[in-house]
Chains A and B, each alone.
Chain A
């Protein structure tokens, strides 16, 4: 695998690799996301306790899971960037941060719109909600720190450190519903047990989740390509890559 991965550390090769992946990722992301969401909105049954509000699950759960998955990817990239000092991986940390921030904001906002009719409140300072809000601040902190230094290299390194240290929050979010008494319900999909969700709701949920995942990867490709171009703009290959268009 390393033999396959190694050439991708070269910015030029990674730029073209992402460019080839991009149309496939973006196309399949839009299709699966719309398919899963429309299935969930119109063709899945209402819940016996939550009635139609359960349809928010098809955006809330995927965006919440993705907010944590994106942070995990960012933390792994930050670790790699700090230990092995690979330039493109440092850029990747900064490229993925805004995407994760938007997913976290979506998870919080859809959760609020779901909480009002079901819990009777838009917001509650409970463990799951608070830790997810901290995740949003961590993303914003990474973005802000990277831009806060006049020396870009230092900013990137400090942002990587924060991304790595902030990873401690991800297991806290995940286990918050078990460790504390929360208003938020426990997990509906687990890897080891049979899911407690009926297939008529599980399938649109999983398809929406796949759609969010593909969208994250597609946008990651776009942002990483932009970051590569910005950092390599004085190299001759950038001129030839941009000259054709």
Chain B
């Protein structure tokens, strides 16, 4: 550890604002990207499952209608 204390670590020798700005933006974007990629998968799964369920319902009603 190159810092004496935690507040030293946050201050980064007076450059804290720029360093934490850079890291903050980086992780904000990375986490956003990861979340977006997984959200896409989830949304598509739901879409497909809804479609399959709908096809199932239509089939059921059609069968029920037939004498």
> Once the chains bind, are A219 and B49 in contact (CB under 8 Å)?
no
Q: Residues of A contacting B44 with CB < 8 Å?
A: 226, 229-230
Chain A minimum-CB-distance residue to B25: A109
A90 interface contact, C-beta 8 A: no
Binds B, one of A46-54, A70-78, A146-154: A46-54
Binds B, one of A98-106, A127-135, A165-173, A177-185: A98-106
A7 to B15, CA, bound (A): 52
Binds B, one of A56-64, A79-87, A156-164, A190-198: A56-64
A42-B18 contact given A222-B41, A242-B49, CB 8 Å threshold? no
CB distance from A188 to the nearest CB of B (A): 17
> Once the chains bind, are A52 and B13 in contact (CB under 8 Å)?
yes
A63 to B37, CA, bound (A): 18
A55-B25 contact given A98-B33, A102-B30, A230-B44, CB 8 Å threshold? no
User: What 0/1 readout, one digit per residue, does chain A (204-245) give for beta carbons within 8 Å of chain B?
Assistant: 000000000001000100110110011001000011001001
> Once the chains bind, are A56 and B3 in contact (CB under 8 Å)?
no
> Once the chains bind, are B30 and A106 in contact (CB under 8 Å)?
yes
Among the interface residues A43, A98, A113, A116, which one has the most CB atoms of the partner chain B within 10 A? Answer: A113
Q: Residues of A contacting B13 with CB < 8 Å?
A: 46, 51-52
A180 to B15, CA, bound (A): 30
Among the interface residues A37, A53, A230, which one has the most CB atoms of the partner chain B within 10 A? Answer: A53
A117 interface contact, C-beta 8 A: yes
Chain B facing A: main interface SS: helix
A28 interface contact, C-beta 8 A: no
Among the interface residues A106, A223, A230, which one has the most CB atoms of the partner chain B within 10 A? Answer: A106
A55-B34 contact given A41-B23, A46-B2, A229-B44, CB 8 Å threshold? no
User: What 0/1 readout, one digit per residue, does chain B (27-43) give for beta carbons within 8 Å of chain A?
Assistant: 00110111011101100
* Contact size range, B: 20 to 34
B58 interface contact, C-beta 8 A: no
Chain B minimum-CB-distance residue to A233: B48
A110 to B22, CA, bound (A): 5
> Once the chains bind, are A56 and B18 in contact (CB under 8 Å)?
yes
CB distance from B35 to the nearest CB of A (A): 11
Q: Residues of A contacting B38 with CB < 8 Å?
A: 222
CB distance from B28 to the nearest CB of A (A): 10
Which of B's residues lie within 8 Å of A, judged by CB?
Answer: 1-3, 9, 12-15, 18-19, 21-23, 25-26, 29-30, 32-34, 36-38, 40-41, 44-45, 48-49, 52
